[in-house]
């Protein structure tokens, strides 16, 4: 089975990825449901959306989804496309300096990302698309409401679980699928790494179904995509993704204890200062340039130390 689908083109590999995701999700969801039955009122889970599922059960299925939709299909794709479940999707030994740079790049982008969020949140569709706009607003509100329910706690054990569920698993799993699998597949398909980064960033943002925060997530997807393109090491976009999610967690709990009237999950121009946007853009450019030069130099060094013969 090793590398059995390496010969497929981009479209063929994309179909395989979709199949792997769907199959993994169905299998793990069924197993998770069966495992949860002793802790619920039996098969009343089959009542669907009308069942008032507890926040604990929502956390449980969120963890299952992170593993079944992102991590397992990515490992399988790395194996059948490129011959190894981890090295195939870009896991290699990270350099400490590049990890730190990845953190700093995403952290320096935060003021710019926040302003993109404020601008995006004021989006209004034409009147004839009013129904779609209403659905988008409901989807955004529902997603934000679930995240708020996840985070609204002071229980140390739940705080650790939130750290795992919000900061670690999405950074690991989403980067494995989007930057480790989909981006190189789109690169093979279109034979253009920039188009691959754009498409992957678009899908990365769209899959969250939060359209009034689409632009900041799309921008972060672009940044993470170029970290992968320049380094060919998945640990660096993972580090950047983790930095973004960890900062969001920190800000949420800071405001929860200092100013609970502010919901940091909602873009708010009153909590921002435009004076930070230009420095954010400036330092982001400088740090990207340093990262690019550093990885280019490392790539040349690896080439001359390990020549192809």
Q: What's 218-275 look like in SS3?
A: HHHHHHHHHHHHHHCCCHHHHHHHHHHHHHHHHHHHHHHHHCCCCCCCCCCHHHCCHH
Confidence class for position 85, pLDDT limits 50, 70, 90: very high
Of 70 and 45, the structure prediction assigns the larger pLDDT to 70
From CA 189, how far away is CA 12, in angstroms rounded?
A: 9
From CA 40, how far away is CA 48, in angstroms rounded?
A: 14
Please determine, for residue 50, whether its predicted confidence score (pLDDT) is greater than 50.
Answer: no
With contact defined as beta carbons under 8 Å apart, do 222 and 109 qualify?
no
Please determine, for residue 296, whether its predicted confidence score (pLDDT) is greater than 80.
Answer: yes
- Position 27 scores a pLDDT of 96
Confidence class for position 42, pLDDT limits 50, 70, 90: very low
Confidence class for position 271, pLDDT limits 50, 70, 90: low
Q: Which residue has the tokens 């980067």?
A: 175
3-state SS string for 27-96: HHHHHHHHHHHHHCCHHHHHHHHHCCCCHHHHHHHHHHHHHHHHHHHHHHHHHHHHCCCCHHHCCCCCCH
127-170 pLDDT, tens digit each: 777 787 787 777 777 777 777 777 877 888 888 988 999 999 99
Both tokens of 157, joined, read 């054990």
From CA 110, how far away is CA 106, in angstroms rounded?
A: 7
89-142 pLDDT, tens digit each: 999 999 999 999 999 999 999 989 988 888 888 777 787 777 877 877 777 777
Confidence class for position 305, pLDDT limits 50, 70, 90: low
Lowest mean pLDDT segment, chosen from 46-55, 218-227, 274-283: 46-55
Please determine, for residue 80, whether its predicted confidence score (pLDDT) is greater than 70.
Answer: yes
218-250 pLDDT, tens digit each: 999 999 999 999 999 999 999 999 999 999 899
Rounded to two decimals, the pTM is 0.87
Would you give the DSSP letter of residue 208? T
């Amino acid at each position: 089975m090793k590398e059995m689908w390496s010969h497929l083109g981009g479209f063929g590999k994309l179909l395989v990825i979709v199949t792997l995701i769907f199959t993994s999700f169905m299998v793990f969801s069924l197993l998770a449901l069966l495992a949860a039955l002793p802790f619920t009122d039996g098969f009343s889970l089959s009542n669907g959306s009308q069942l008032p599922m507890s926040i604990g059960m929502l956390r449980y299925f969120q963890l299952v989804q992170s593993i079944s939709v992102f991590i397992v299909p990515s490992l399988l794709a790395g194996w059948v496309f490129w011959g190894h479940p981890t090295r195939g999707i870009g896991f290699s030994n990270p350099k400490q300096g590049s990890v730190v740079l990845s953190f700093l790049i995403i952290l320096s982008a935060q003021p710019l990302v926040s302003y993109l969020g404020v601008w995006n949140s004021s989006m209004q569709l034409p009147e004839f698309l009013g129904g779609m706009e209403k659905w988008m607003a409901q989807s955004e509100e529902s997603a934000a409401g679930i995240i708020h329910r996840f985070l609204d706690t002071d229980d140390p054990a739940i705080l650790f679980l939130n750290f795992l569920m919000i900061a670690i698993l999405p950074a690991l799993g989403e980067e494995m699928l989007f930057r480790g699998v989909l981006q190189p597949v789109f690169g093979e398909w279109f034979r253009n790494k920039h188009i691959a980064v754009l498409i992957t960033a678009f899908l990365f943002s769209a899959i969250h179904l939060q359209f009034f925060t689409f632009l900041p997530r799309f921008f972060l997807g672009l940044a993470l995509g170029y970290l992968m393109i320049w380094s060919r090491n998945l640990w660096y976009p993972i580090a950047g993704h983790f930095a973004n999610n960890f900062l969001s967690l920190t800000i949420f709990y800071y405001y929860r204890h200092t100013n609970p009237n502010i919901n940091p999950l909602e873009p708010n121009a009153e909590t921002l200062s435009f004076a930070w946007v230009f420095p954010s853009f400036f330092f982001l450019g400088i740090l990207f340039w340093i990262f690019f030069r550093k990885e280019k130099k490392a790539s040349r060094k690896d080439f001359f130390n390990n020549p192809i013969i």
